[in-house]
């Protein structure tokens, strides 16, 4: 399996060197800035869940740079976004966002040509799994924190977050992957 058009090296999805540190930091900052900028699209009455186009950023950084970068992008990015917006510090939702980037990262070993149909299908699958597991974990933690029952958790927390996140992810991730493929091809990464 080749990771680029040119190098022919095998991908190691768990490496975390200088480049990954920078990608993760950039990803987290980008996630925070875009989330903050789009916070005006909060859905009233649906828990603490907003429509966030930025959710595609941890998913994409996971697919492109591996699970650790994806996790940090979502986890730290959500902490920073909440800090910028003044929403406080909610570790279980931060972890959920981290998982939303980590799961696509696990698929990154199978994605080596970002504009191929097969790679995009893997990416789309990872979006559904990542959003399901990430938002599922965060929503279920509300049962422990606020004593809500399973119906409340599903209808007030999980479904609004999961459905909006997969819509953004499924549509925007392929566009980002194709755009990134052009950069990879041009720069020979």
**Minimal distance in Å, beta carbon 120 to other proteins?**
15
**Minimal distance in Å, beta carbon 24 to other proteins?**
5
92 or 132, CB closer to other proteins? Answer: 92
**Minimal distance in Å, beta carbon 129 to other proteins?**
21
Which three-class secondary structure string do you get for 29-92?
HHHHHHHHHCHHHECCCCCCCECCHHHHHHHHHHHHHCHHHHHHHHHHHHHHHHHHHCCCCCHH
The rounded distance, in Å, linking the Cα atoms of 115 and 166 is: 20
The rounded distance, in Å, linking the Cα atoms of 99 and 58 is: 9
The rounded distance, in Å, linking the Cα atoms of 111 and 121 is: 10
8 or 147, CB closer to other proteins? Answer: 147
Q: Which helix (H) or strand (E) holds 58?
A: helix 56-65
Contacts (Cβ under 8 Å, ≥6 apart) of 56: 168, 169, 172, 173, 176
98 or 136, CB closer to other proteins? Answer: 98
90 or 122, CB closer to other proteins? Answer: 90
**Minimal distance in Å, beta carbon 106 to other proteins?**
18
131 or 172, CB closer to other proteins? Answer: 172
The rounded distance, in Å, linking the Cα atoms of 161 and 46 is: 9
The rounded distance, in Å, linking the Cα atoms of 97 and 71 is: 8
4 or 85, CB closer to other proteins? Answer: 85
Q: What is the dihedral of CA 45, 133, 41, 80, to 10 degrees?
A: 110
**Minimal distance in Å, beta carbon 121 to other proteins?**
20
**Minimal distance in Å, beta carbon 118 to other proteins?**
22
């Amino acid at each position: 399996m080749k990771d680029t058009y040119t190098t022919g090296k095998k991908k190691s999805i768990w490496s975390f060197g200088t480049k990954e540190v920078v990608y993760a930091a950039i990803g987290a900052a980008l996630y925070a800035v875009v989330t903050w900028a789009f916070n005006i699209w909060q859905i009233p009455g649906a828990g603490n869940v907003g429509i966030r186009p930025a959710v595609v950023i941890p998913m994409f950084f996971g697919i492109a740079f591996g699970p650790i970068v994806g996790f940090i992008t979502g986890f730290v990015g959500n902490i920073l976004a909440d800090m910028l917006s003044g929403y406080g510090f909610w570790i279980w939702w931060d972890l959920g966002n981290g998982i939303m980037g980590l799961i696509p990262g696990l698929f990154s070993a199978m994605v080596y040509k970002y504009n191929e149909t097969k790679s995009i299908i893997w990416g789309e699958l990872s979006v559904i799994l990542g959003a399901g597991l990430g938002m599922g974990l965060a929503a279920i933690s509300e049962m422990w924190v606020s004593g809500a029952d399973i119906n409340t958790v599903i209808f007030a927390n999980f479904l609004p977050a999961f459905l909006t996140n997969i819509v953004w992810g499924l549509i925007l991730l392929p566009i980002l992957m194709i755009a990134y493929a052009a950069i990879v091809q041009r720069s020979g990464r």
